[in-house]
């Protein structure tokens, strides 16, 4: 029998039952590999359910540091869920391994001749060892992690350290967990040749750029939460929705640690769980108008509900930060599956002529830094800033460069006139006009309520107004106002983060544009294609409005693949709509929208199909070029 051989380069998948405590054991498995300095990317593939339905945890180990999904089958399946066993067996790559609970014999129909079976009698071990029903259930997970450690050569000491950290101060739990790990470990060592063909190894073949960075392992939502703390958010209003909930949960956790007034024990923050998303964004806008940095976190359905208010904030020019952790839509869609399908809804949220500033982080480190940036942008531009992450980035742990903050950074509160500035203005004989374009950049000056007893008061409104914030239905005043808003949007281009451009090793007519979580598998696919002789320049978008660099990139290439995770090629359409260069013919969509993160193999196949062959010297025959939709992995 062929047994797959690989060092630091394989995919392990756990098939569990939701609500059985597997998540923390699986996390420990991934963290142990990470602790050994080996790039790892774990992903929860979970149901919209609390208990009972199948749930999976996929861990990719990649010495090259590829963090996106590889695609194809898995190399090792650890299956302890009879419900899903039939499909789980099928998912194993030829030569791969199927690890199962052998307390009961395996159904002969599940036997494949081209994979290796490793049985561990987990249930009977637990029944023998424990009398408590809860322990019998929970330690199953720990036992299989112990067994995998032996099978894959994970350092046992690292696992013991993790247990000790997790249960710090609870000696009894530490002893019990280490014992369970040992039971699994010993069983594997005594019954199988360990390690199997797949194994991990410190140093070894790990890419140098990986070894040189002191990586962290964290999820995007927690990074956003910390970004909000560092960015100076003092008000958070939200309504629970998967997959964004842990953003505000994380914010609260860090605030309790970092934002308590040392003298009084009072809170330097306020968090309100609103009655719905309308109210959540309303509170953010009320707080922003009144000079506090405020944010909300939501997902697609919440974004839809917030539309009217986003239009108000755009038109009345109120700073607000909204984090949209995207999931599969439309409607309730697949609430626990990922997508990048809110791009257009976010860019143009609300009726009327409306455009919003968008940010697209790709890593936890960037979730942190762009959240900090979002608050500065919202204040500077006096407008909502929408940061689009997704379920994959938000809820999964990612190996990331450490979070970075510059102590020299001071908050950019934008153009705010305080009492002193208002008086200076009055001394110059000038009248304060809330919506006057004083500097010619489309950004007016604002005042906080209560700033001055006699000057600077105005009424913020969603109705049309003149430069002095007075209600008007004069068409000319309306046009002046909305044209200034457009000018302000143009000004925004100089403040938003530039795209990251990576040129290919040689000159090429091909470019690829992507953003967010599509970046990791896209870079991997580009390296795969480079080995095949297809050179591709890449541009990772980080913001909307698009800067000049985006137009230049499109202009510089004959064909530009726009890789994203939605059906309609929404970013492609936004590029066509919002750039002034001929783009429609050049931009070729490469898409995946089945709710699972796009894989490197899907992207590579999509690009090959788009080129119409694997030889990039062959001129493109546009008539034959077809859109690659959900190409096979």
Partner 1 sequence: MTYQKPSFRHPAAQVNELGYTRRDYEGSLSTLCAGCGHDSISAAIIEAVFTLPLEPHRIAKMSGIGCSSKTPAYFLGRSHGFNSVHGRMPSVTTGASLANRDLVYIGVSGDGDTASIGFGQFGHAVRRNLNMTYIVENNGCYGLTKGQDSATADVGSKNKKGAANPYEPIDLVSMAIQLGATFVGRSFSGDRQQLVPLIKAALTHRGFAFLDVVSPCVTFNNHEGSTKSYAFTRERIEATPLDFVPMREEIRTSYAAGATQEVCMHDGSVIRLHKQNDEYDIEDAQSALQAIAHHNKQGRVLTGLLYIDRDAHEMHEVLGTVRRPLNSLTEKELCPGTKVLDSINAGLR
Site residues for partner 1, 32-51, by CB under 8 A, read 35
Please tell me whether residue 4 binds partner 1 under the rule CB under 8 A.
Answer: no
Q: Which stretch binds partner 1 (CB under 8 A): 10-18, 328-336, 453-461, 477-485?
A: 453-461
| Contact letters for partner 1, residues 389-428 (x by CB under 8 A) | -------------xxxxxx--xx-----------------
Answer yes or no whether residue 380 interacts with partner 1 by CB under 8 A: no
275 binds partner 1 (CB under 8 A): yes
Residues in 464-493 that interact with partner 1 by CB under 8 A: 470-471
The site for partner 1, by CB under 8 A, has a size of 74
279 is an interface residue for partner 1 by CB under 8 A: yes
Instruction: Decide: is 211 part of the binding site for partner 1 (CB under 8 A).
Output: no
Q: Does 438 bind partner 1 (CB under 8 A)?
A: no
Whether the upstream peptide bond of residue 195 has omega within 30° of 0, thus cis, is yes
Q: Report, in Å, the least distance between residue 350 CB and partner 1.
A: 10
- d(Cα 430, Cα 423) in Å, to the nearest integer? 10
What burial class does residue 130 get, using C-beta atoms within 10 Å of its C-beta: 0-12 exposed, 13-18 middle, 19+ buried? Answer: middle
Helix (H, G, I), strand (E, B) or coil at 121: coil
Sole window of 11-19, 134-142, 232-240, 618-626 interacting with partner 1 (rule: CB under 8 A): 232-240
The length of the chain, given as a count of residues: 633
**Axis-axis angle for helices 22-35, 156-166 (nearest 10):** 130
Asked if residues 434 and 400 have their Cβ atoms less than 8 Å apart, the reply is: no
Determine, following the binding rule CB under 8 A, whether residue 462 of this chain makes contact with partner 1: yes
Distance of CA 447 to the CA centre of its chain: 35
Q: How far is the CB of 455 from partner 1 (least distance, A)?
A: 9
Residues 6+ apart with CB under 8 A from 308: 278, 350, 351
- Residues 302, 425: Cα–Cα separation, whole Å: 42
150 lines the binding site for partner 1 (CB under 8 A): no
- Report the DSSP beta bridge partners of residue 328: 334
In angstroms, give the least distance from the CB of 471 to partner 1.
Answer: 7
**168, 202, 461, 622: which one contacts partner 1 (CB under 8 A)?**
461
Nearest-approach distance from CB 361 to partner 1, in angstroms: 17
- Dihedrals phi, psi of 185, to nearest 5 degrees: -60, -50
Place of tokens 């089945």: 594
283-322 binders of partner 1 (CB under 8 A): 283-294, 308-309, 312, 316
Q: How wide is the angle at C-alpha 62 spanned by C-alphas 30 and 26, nearest 5°? A: 15
Of the candidate residues 264, 351, 427, 440, the single one contacting partner 1 (CB under 8 A)? 264
Query: Which tokens go with 596?
Result: 């699972």
126 is a site residue for partner 1 (CB under 8 A):
no
Q: Is residue 258 within the footprint of partner 1 (CB under 8 A)?
A: yes
Asked if 278 touches partner 1 (CB under 8 A), the answer is yes
Beta strands 54-62 and 9-17 are: antiparallel
Residue 589 · residue 564 · CB < 8 Å: yes
Residue 157 touches partner 1, criterion: CB under 8 A: no
By CB under 8 A, residue 229 contacts partner 1: yes
């Amino acid at each position: 029998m062929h047994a797959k051989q690989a060092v630091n380069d394989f995919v392990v998948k756990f098939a569990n039952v939701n609500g059985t405590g597997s998540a923390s054991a699986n996390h420990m498995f991934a963290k142990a590999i990470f602790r050994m300095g080996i790039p790892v990317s774990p992903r929860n593939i979970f149901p919209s359910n609390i208990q009972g339905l199948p749930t999976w945890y996929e861990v990719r180990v990649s010495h090259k540091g590829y963090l996106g999904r590889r695609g194809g089958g898995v190399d090792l399946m650890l299956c302890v869920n009879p419900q899903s066993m039939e499909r789980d067996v099928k998912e194993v790559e030829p030569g791969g391994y199927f690890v199962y609970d052998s307390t009961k014999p395996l159904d002969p129909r599940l036997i494949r001749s081209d994979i290796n079976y490793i049985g561990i009698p987990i249930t009977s071990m637990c029944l023998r060892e424990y009398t408590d029903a809860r322990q019998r259930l929970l330690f199953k997970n720990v036992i299989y992690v112990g067994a995998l450690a032996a099978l894959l050569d994970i350092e046992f000491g690292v696992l013991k350290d993790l247990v000790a950290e997790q249960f710090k101060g609870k000696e009894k739990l530490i002893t019990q967990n280490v014992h369970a790990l040992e039971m699994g470990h010993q069983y594997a060592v005594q019954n199988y040749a360990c390690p199997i063909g797949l194994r991990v190894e410190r140093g070894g073949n790990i890419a140098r750029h990986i070894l040189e960075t002191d990586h962290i392992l964290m999820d995007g939502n927690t990074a956003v939460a910390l970004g909000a703390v560092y960015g100076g958010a003092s008000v958070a209003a939200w309504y629970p929705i998967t997959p964004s909930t842990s953003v505000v949960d994380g914010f609260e956790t860090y605030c309790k640690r970092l934002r308590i007034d040392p003298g009084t024990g009072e809170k330097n923050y306020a968090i309100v769980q609103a009655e719905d998303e309308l109210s959540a964004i309303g509170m953010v806008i009320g707080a922003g108008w009144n000079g506090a940095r405020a944010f909300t976190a939501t997902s697609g359905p919440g974004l839809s509900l917030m539309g009217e208010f986003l239009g108000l904030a755009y038109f009345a020019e109120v700073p607000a930060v909204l984090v949209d952790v995207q999931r599969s839509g439309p409607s309730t869609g697949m609430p626990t599956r990922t997508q990048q399908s809110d791009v257009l809804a976010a860019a143009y949220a609300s009726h009327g002529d409306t455009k919003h500033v968008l940010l697209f982080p790709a890593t936890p480190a960037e979730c942190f830094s762009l959240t900090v940036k979002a608050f500065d942008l919202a204040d500077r531009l006096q407008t909502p800033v929408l940061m689009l992450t997704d379920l994959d980035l938000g809820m999964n742990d990612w190996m990331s460069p450490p979070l970075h903050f510059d102590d020299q950074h001071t908050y950019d509160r934008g153009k705010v006139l305080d009492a002193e500035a208002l008086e200076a203005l009055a001394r110059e004989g000038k009248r304060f006009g809330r919506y006057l374009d004083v500097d010619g950049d489309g950004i007016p000056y604002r005042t906080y309520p209560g700033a001055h007893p006699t000057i600077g008061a105005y009424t913020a409104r969603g109705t049309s107004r003149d430069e002095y914030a007075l209600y008007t239905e004069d068409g000319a005043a309306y046009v002046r106002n909305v044209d200034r808003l457009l000018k302000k949007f143009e000004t925004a281009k100089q403040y938003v983060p530039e795209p990251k451009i990576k040129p290919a090793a040689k000159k090429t007519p091909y470019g690829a544009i992507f953003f967010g979580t599509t970046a990791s598998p896209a870079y991997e696919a580009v390296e795969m294609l480079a080995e095949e002789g297809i050179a591709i320049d890449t541009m990772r978008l980080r913001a909307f409005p698009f800067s000049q660099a985006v137009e230049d990139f499109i202009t510089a290439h004959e064909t530009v693949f726009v890789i994203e995770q939605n059906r309609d090629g929404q970013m492609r359409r936004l590029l066509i709509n919002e750039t002034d260069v001929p783009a429609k013919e050049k931009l070729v969509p490469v898409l995946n929208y089945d709710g699972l993160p796009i894989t490197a193999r899907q992207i590579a196949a999509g690009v090959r199909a788009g080129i119409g062959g694997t030889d990039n010297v062959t001129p493109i025959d546009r008539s034959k070029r077809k859109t690659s939709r959900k190409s096979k992995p």
